[in-house]
A and B are shown apart, each in its own frame.
Chain A
Amino acid sequence: DTAVSQTPKYLVTQMGNDKSIKCEQNLGHDTMYWYKQDSKKFLKIMFSYNNKELIINETVPNRFSPKSPDKAHLNLHINSLELGDSAVYFCASSRRTLNEQFFGPGTRLTVL
C-alpha cells in the first residue's frame, strides 16, 4: 500500500490558470508538508499542517494555498500560475513535527 500518494503525477498547464494537487497519507501521521524542488534540485518547505492547523507558512506567494479537509489529506491549490511555478512539488508526512518525514512520489508541474 502506498504510504504517501499524490495526484496528478504530471501537470502541464498555461500561465494564468488555477490548478490543484492532491495528497493523501495512510500512515496515521499528524503532520503533513508541501515542498517545492526547483530545477537546481533545491528542496524547500512551503507549508506544513499539524492536526489541520497551519503551523509554518514560509514566504511563498499567496497564490499558493494549502487546504486540509482532514488529517490524512493536504491539498495544494495554486491560483494564476506563473512560469516560475514550474517545479516538482512533493508532499510529505511525519508522526509529529521534527520527526522523520516520508515523501510522496512528487508532482511535476510545467507552466507554459
Chain B
Amino acid sequence: QKEVEQNSGPLSVPEGAIASLNCTYSDRGSQSFFWYRQYSGKSPELIMFIYSNGDKEDGRFTAQLNKASQYVSLLIRDSQPSDSATYLCAVPYGGSQGNLIFGKGTKLSVKP
C-alpha cells in the first residue's frame, strides 16, 4: 500500500521563526515530490516541487529531499501569519500512468 505520512499538527511557530514540515513516503520508486498549501476554505495551491536529493530553495521556502531515508521536508524561513495554512505533501505512485497520493496535511499556525 502506498502511503504518505505527515504530522497533522497543529504546528505553532512565532512570527519570524523557521517552520519545519516533514513528510515520509513508502514507495521507494517515487521520483518527484510536491508541496501544496491550502488555506481554510480554499483549494490546494502548489508551492514547491523537488526531484533530486538535496535542497531546493524558492524565496522563503526550501524543500529538502532524502530518497534513501524516504522523507521530504519543507522549511519556511521568516514565517509570517499569512503562512498559516495546511501544508500537503504529495507523492506520485503507479508508474507512468500513475497519480499523486496526498498526505493528510500539517496545519501550521504562525503567531504574531
Q: Nearest chain A CB to B109's CB is how many angstroms away?
A: 15
A102 to B43, CA, bound (A): 9
Inter-subunit contact A90/B99 (CB<8 Å): no
A104 to B94, CA, bound (A): 24
Knowing A41-B86, A41-B105, the reply to whether A97 touches B44 (Cβ < 8 A) is no
Inter-subunit contact A101/B43 (CB<8 Å): no
Assess whether B61 is interfacial by the CB under 8 Å rule: no
Inter-subunit contact A56/B44 (CB<8 Å): no
- Enumerate 14 A-B pairs (CB-CB under 8 Å) in ascending A order: A33-B99, A43-B44, A43-B88, A45-B100, A45-B101, A48-B99, A56-B98, A97-B97, A98-B32, A100-B46, A101-B34, A101-B46, A106-B42, A106-B43
Interface readout for A33-72 with B: 1 if CB under 8 Å, 0 if not?
1000000111111001010000110000000000000000
A33: chain B residues within 8 A (beta carbon): 99
A49 to B54, CA, bound (A): 33
Interface readout for A76-112 with B: 1 if CB under 8 Å, 0 if not?
0000000000000010000001101111111000000
Q: Report how many residues on chain B are interfacial, defined by Cβ distance under 8 Å.
A: 23
A48: chain B residues within 8 A (beta carbon): 99
Interface residues of B in 75-102 (CB under 8 A from A): 86, 88, 90, 92, 94, 96-102
Knowing A41-B86, A43-B102, A98-B32, the reply to whether A103 touches B96 (Cβ < 8 A) is no
Inter-subunit contact A56/B88 (CB<8 Å): no
Assess whether B104 is interfacial by the CB under 8 Å rule: yes
A106 to B88, CA, bound (A): 16
Inter-subunit contact B32/A103 (CB<8 Å): no
A105 to B92, CA, bound (A): 22
Q: Nearest chain A CB to B42's CB is how many angstroms away?
A: 8
Knowing A41-B86, A100-B34, the reply to whether A55 touches B97 (Cβ < 8 A) is yes
A55 to B97, CA, bound (A): 7
In the complex formed, the residue of B with least CB distance to A58 is: B99
In the complex formed, the residue of A with least CB distance to B40 is: A41
